[in-house]
């Protein structure tokens, strides 16, 4: 076989069953049968309905806490925190609903992480691959079936930090071919190989794989597989996606439709699977698809980074320039961009009508700073301002970009050249 030029050693692994299945037998840690262990895991994640207060977020950046009374295809009804008033918010103005349920760490029972081409990501106790069909038992108890061509990658032993890190290292290289991670027959090492994954046999016991540079096709015992990656086109949200729905098990479902009932939430995923979630396990609805996009989720079409005295700081997404949380005006933002002078980022913004962000010096920057910030649309100046440590007040930016083709963010040198110019475009988003 032809190696991806990287060897990843792992601890000896127990040989599993005839399909790519991690938990087909009693739990390795507690000895309980699989079915009983699944019941215990699911029960641990359930939250009493009385605790399901929430918060909605709207396109204008505002948040409204309260109890989610009803969720329909057209609006959200929220009872105020004091229980005195029920407000109705049109769904077209809502970008998120958060139920505030505490996030629990995923159990360390052996499991897999599976990501699909549309962005759906689930954690599984079993992953059965037969021919070109896949059947998964999720930690949350649901069973999902789909075709292999919907799978982007599979990580075995995802409860182990070393296994995830080894897989992510290869994934970060943006492989141009499929690859597999295979455990050696003596279980002393796990090695990656690149080539073409053709599928599995009808019994689900052997994987057909053609290694790069070889004319022969290998038949690999599925029990030795520790990871799969498929090099595919068309990755990302499709035009019919309406929501990303997260649950307390760490799963994220890309939905084309959903129905909010008294006890359950029924989801149709973009890949066509049907999923039913117990309402008390629903963590968050991200309703931005089709309404807005965060700039940190888009790829710039042009990047220029030219420091003078300071070291080169590459722009960062959803973190400040030191790798910490974005924080402006003592408020932490989960989304946004961090830029250093001089940086120019240019984006394709066709189809958007408004650009909004909170602009300011990152709170982690204690020294002197003075930067000139400009925002341009189709080479015309839309905003020019100075951000300095002397007057570090967050600026709420709202710009009309309807009909424009390109948006350019520029952080330029100020009075102190490029020293301390840690500028955040917090919550930077484009609204359609």
Q: Are residues 197 and 133 in the same domain?
A: yes
Predicted local distance difference test score (pLDDT) of residue 14: 38
Q: Are residues 178 and 297 in the same domain?
A: no
Q: Which residue, among 122, 152, 160, has the nearest Cα to 139 in the 3D structure?
A: 122
Q: Nearest 5°: phi and psi at 221?
A: -60, 120
Predicted local distance difference test score (pLDDT) of residue 311: 67
Q: Are residues 359 and 320 in the same domain?
A: yes
From 266, 289, 312, give the residue that closes a domain.
289
Q: Are residues 114 and 202 in the same domain?
A: yes
The total domain count for the chain is: 3
pLDDT tens track for 117-131: 999 999 999 999 888
In percent, the amount of the chain with pLDDT more than 70 equals: 85
Structural domain that includes position 405: 293-431
Predicted local distance difference test score (pLDDT) of residue 20: 52
Residue 131's alpha-carbon distances to 153, 206, 301, in angstroms, are 17, 9, 40
Structure tokens at 55: 């918060």
Task: Tell me the CATH number at 77.
Answer: 2.30.30.100
Task: Tell me the CATH number at 314.
Answer: 2.60.120.1060
pLDDT tens track for 240-266: 999 999 999 999 999 999 999 889 999
Predicted local distance difference test score (pLDDT) of residue 308: 75
Q: Are residues 134 and 261 in the same domain?
A: yes
Q: Are residues 319 and 207 in the same domain?
A: no
Residues of the chain under the 70 pLDDT cut = 1-52, 102-108, 309-311
Q: Are residues 30 and 155 in the same domain?
A: yes
Please state whether beta strands 370-377 and 406-413 pair in parallel, antiparallel, or not at all (unpaired).
Answer: antiparallel
**What distance in Å separates the CA atoms of residue 352 and residue 334, rounded to the nearest whole number?**
22
Predicted local distance difference test score (pLDDT) of residue 121: 95
pLDDT tens track for 318-350: 999 989 999 999 999 999 999 999 999 999 999
Predicted local distance difference test score (pLDDT) of residue 32: 38
Q: Are residues 137 and 7 in the same domain?
A: yes
Predicted local distance difference test score (pLDDT) of residue 185: 85
Q: Are residues 365 and 270 in the same domain?
A: no
Q: Nearest 5°: phi and psi at 154?
A: -130, 130
Give bridge partners of residue 182 from the DSSP assignment: 191, 225
Query: Rounded to a whole number, what is the distance in angstroms from the first to the last CA of the chain?
Result: 48
Q: Which residue, among 61, 64, 59, 100, has the nearest Cα to 79 in the 3D structure?
A: 64
Q: Are residues 146 and 206 in the same domain?
A: yes
From 41, 73, 98, give the residue that closes a domain.
98
């Amino acid at each position: 076989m032809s190696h991806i030029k990287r060897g990843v050693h792992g601890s000896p692994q127990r040989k599993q069953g005839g399909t790519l299945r991690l938990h087909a037998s009693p739990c390795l840690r507690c000895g309980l049968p699989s079915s009983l262990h699944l019941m215990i895991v699911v029960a641990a994640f359930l939250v009493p309905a009385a605790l399901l207060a929430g918060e909605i977020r709207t396109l204008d950046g505002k948040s409204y806490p309260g109890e989610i009374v009803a969720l329909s295809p057209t609006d959200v009804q929220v009872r105020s925190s004091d229980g005195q008033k029920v407000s109705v918010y049109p769904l077209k103005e809502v970008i998120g609903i958060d139920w505030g349920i505490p996030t629990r760490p995923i159990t360390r029972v052996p499991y897999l992480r599976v990501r699909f081409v549309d962005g759906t990501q689930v954690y599984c106790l079993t992953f059965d691959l037969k021919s070109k069909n896949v059947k998964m038992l999720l930690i949350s108890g649901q069973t999902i079936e789909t075709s292999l061509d919907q799978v982007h990658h599979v990580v075995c032993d995802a409860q182990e930090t070393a296994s995830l890190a080894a897989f992510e290292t290869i994934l970060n290289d943006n492989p141009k071919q499929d690859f597999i991670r295979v455990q050696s027959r003596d279980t002393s090492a796990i090695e990656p190989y690149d080539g073409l994954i053709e599928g599995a046999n009808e019994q689900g016991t052997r994987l057909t794989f053609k290694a790069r540079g070889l004319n022969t096709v290998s038949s690999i015992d599925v029990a030795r597989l520790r990871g799969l990656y498929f090099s595919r086109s068309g990755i990302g949200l499709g035009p019919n996606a309406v929501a990303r729905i997260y649950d307390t098990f760490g799963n994220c479902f890309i939905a084309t439709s959903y129905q909010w009932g008294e006890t359950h939430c029924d989801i149709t995923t973009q890949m066509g699977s049907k999923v039913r979630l117990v309402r008390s396990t629903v963590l968050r609805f991200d309703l931005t698809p089709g309404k807005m996009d965060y700039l940190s989720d888009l790829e710039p079409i042009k990047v220029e980074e030219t420091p003078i005295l300071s070291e080169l700081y590459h722009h960062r997404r959803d973190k400040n320039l030191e790798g910490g949380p974005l924080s402006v005006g003592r408020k932490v933002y989960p989304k946004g961009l961090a830029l250093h002078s001089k940086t120019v980022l240019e984006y394709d913004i066709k189809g958007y009508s408004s650009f909004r962000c909170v602009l300011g010096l990152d709170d982690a920057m204690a020294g002197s700073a003075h930067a000139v910030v400009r925002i341009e649309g189709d080479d015309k100046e839309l905003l020019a301002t100075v951000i300095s440590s002397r007057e570090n007040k967050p600026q709420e930016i709202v710009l009309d970009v309807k009909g424009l083709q390109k948006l350019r963010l520029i952080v330029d040198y100020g009075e102190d050249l490029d020293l301390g110019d840690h500028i955040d475009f917090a919550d930077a988003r484009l609204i359609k």
